[in-house]
Amino acid sequence: MAAMLLLTAFVILLCLAANRVSGKWGLPALLLFMALGMIFGSDGILKISFDNYEATEKICLIALVFIIFYGGFGTKWEMAKPVAVKSMVLSTLGTFFTAMLTCVFCYLVLHMEFSESFLIGAVLSSTDAASVFSILRSKNLDLKHKTSSLLELESGSNDPIAYMLTIVGLSLLSGEKISVPTMLLQQIAFGIAVGVVMALLGCIIIEKSNALTEGFDTIFVIAVVLISYAAAEVLHGNGYLSVYLTGIIMGNQRLKNKAVLVHFFDAMTGMAQMAIFFLLGLLAFPHKIFPVLPVALAIVLFLTLVARPVVVTLLLKPLGCSMRQCVLISCAGLRGAASIVFAIMAMSNGAVLQHDLYHIVFFIALFSVAIQGSLLPWAAKKLVMIEEGGNILKTFTDYQEESAITMIRFFIPHGHGWADKKIQEVNLPAGSLALMIKRENETVIPKGDTVLRAGDSIILSVPEYQAAGDVNLKEIVIDKFHAWNGKTIAELNLPENILIAMLKRGEENIIPRGKTKIKENDIVVIYD
């Protein structure tokens, strides 16, 4: 037992070291975790014989549950909302059509059995959330036209569709007769219902209960995630869909001790990614890859160069995406842990196959993470799709900039709750200090009993803007359906606790006045 614990600790330290040096080498850390597993494996240096698909499936499924949950928890809905339709189309129809095109290729070109072709297409149909999140964050790759948010939402939400297709594929192989429409309806309906209910219950209990002291709320959320997955599975719903929805809803609420939850699950999912990719490498036998190399290489080239680009272009071009954006999204279709876990699920369920499914999918994931993942920053640069000065972390709910002091001007429109009140009576941002008031042609040095008037601009020294976390400043993206679109600041009739601090319009930052009109695609920074 002691030897096993020492070995486990040693592996963790090596994974941490690999994560540290991955940026210097220009390689995704997940690839190095895989490589470490192969080094420890039966064909590697330490010759650890490990071929237990059942145990690996159980460990990886639990790890994947928390990775998918945190993918939802970390998705900032305000940033993702403008591209939500495109992401959902890609994660549903895109996943389905990718599976079908891959199935047809395997059946007609590689002459596989139809049921086996379908299973391979299903297993490889989803992009991998862990790989996409890891590369975007590690390279700080913020992309134009909210492409980063689109990719995050797509990769986080398409695993449930791939899982359902994999279940159908296994049924075809086993000859089991199932009603596909009924199964899909159950998977989706119960997955959504359980995910929403558990998220709402979890938020209510965290906010209302005094029983959850700091630190124990993280344990409570772990229980919520496990119940969300397990309850959906018991009801024949989609557990992955359930935990993803639970994550999105909880992650976009103002929960007590949210910063603690973010740091805990960030570390937990990091550990889960290490475990998954190391185990997948450990389970692989490099000498078994060479016999399947021609088939695996043909599939990955078709998937990368034909299926993904065709599906992305046909689905997203009509929705307003440019060709450059479609090409970049095609390049970001990384396959990784999710596909390999679904392949392990097929192997552990006793699927009788003519080809070595695990090593085919393993090679494809290895190729995808190593080649596509490494070339993604280069492709974004060549396609002129990098948002200069952008910060990818703003698309996550755990984004928080370093604390600093800056100046900001608040305009007080007619009818606002601050008008005709003393400075000491209004709720200024935490840590702020009123420096001066611009009143028509007059400059007023304020005191606590200075009365604010409609039309005043108050200059504050405040902590630097933070887009998320336990702070009061946040961004609202104005789409064409937003109630504020086309209205002036004065027409909004804002409640007392809401103050518009700034408008971001393209490259321009606008300090608002009462007559300033809010337009579509503006980003409104408000103090709430």
Identify the CATH homologous superfamily for domain 405-527.
Regulator of K+ conductance, C-terminal domain (3.30.70.1450)
pLDDT greater than 70 at residue 115? yes
More confident residue, 278 or 426: 278
pLDDT greater than 80 at residue 393? no
**pLDDT mean over 160-167:** 87
Answer yes or no: are the C-beta atoms of 252 and 397 closer than 8 Å: yes
pLDDT greater than 50 at residue 467? no
pLDDT greater than 50 at residue 350? yes
The pLDDT value given to residue 187: 86
Range with the lowest mean pLDDT among 304-308, 396-400, 445-449? 396-400
Residues paired with residue 508 on neighbouring β-strands, in sequence order:
505
Domain topology for 52-395: Na+/H+ antiporter like fold (1.20.1530)
The pLDDT value given to residue 351: 67
CA distance linking residue 291 with residue 294, whole number of Å: 8
Tell whether the torsion through CA atoms of 456, 461, 467 and 468 is positive or negative. Answer: negative
Q: Tell me: the pLDDT tens digits for 476-493?
A: 888 887 888 888 887 887
Domain layout of the chain by residue ranges: 52-395, 405-527
Tell whether the torsion through CA atoms of 209, 211, 215 and 220 is positive or negative. Answer: negative
Please give the full DSSP string across 74-119, using - where no structure is assigned.
TB-HHHHGGGHHHHHHIIIIIHHHHHHHHHHHHHHTS---HHHHHH
pLDDT level of residue 470 (50, 70, 90 thresholds): very low
Range with the lowest mean pLDDT among 122-131, 188-197, 349-358? 349-358
The pLDDT value given to residue 167: 87
pLDDT greater than 60 at residue 469? no
pLDDT level of residue 468 (50, 70, 90 thresholds): very low
CA distance linking residue 346 with residue 173, whole number of Å: 10
Residue 170 CA neighbour count, 13 Å, CB half: 17
The pLDDT value given to residue 463: 58
The pLDDT value given to residue 215: 66
pLDDT greater than 70 at residue 445? yes
pLDDT greater than 60 at residue 401? no
pLDDT level of residue 28 (50, 70, 90 thresholds): low
**pLDDT mean over 392-408:** 51
**pLDDT mean over 382-408:** 58
The pLDDT value given to residue 301: 93
Residue 131 makes CB contacts below 8 A (sequence gap 6+) with 28, 30, 155, 334, 335, 336, 337, 368, 369, 373
pLDDT greater than 70 at residue 316? yes
pLDDT level of residue 102 (50, 70, 90 thresholds): very high
> Between helices 323-331 and 308-316, what is the axis angle to 10°?
140
pLDDT level of residue 407 (50, 70, 90 thresholds): low
pLDDT greater than 70 at residue 119? yes
**pLDDT mean over 212-240:** 86
Range with the lowest mean pLDDT among 136-150, 223-237, 383-397? 383-397
Q: Tell me: the pLDDT tens digits for 249-301?
A: 988 887 777 777 877 888 888 888 888 888 888 888 888 888 889 999 999 99
Percent of the chain with pLDDT over 70: 87
The pLDDT value given to residue 213: 64
pLDDT greater than 70 at residue 37? yes
Look over the chain and give the mean of its residue pLDDT values, rounded to a whole number.
80
Answer yes or no: are the C-beta atoms of 503 and 445 closer than 8 Å: no
- Intrachain domains 52-395 and 405-527 with the same fold: no
The pair of structure tokens assigned to 68 is 């998918």
The pLDDT value given to residue 107: 92
Percent of the chain with pLDDT over 90: 15
The pLDDT value given to residue 4: 75
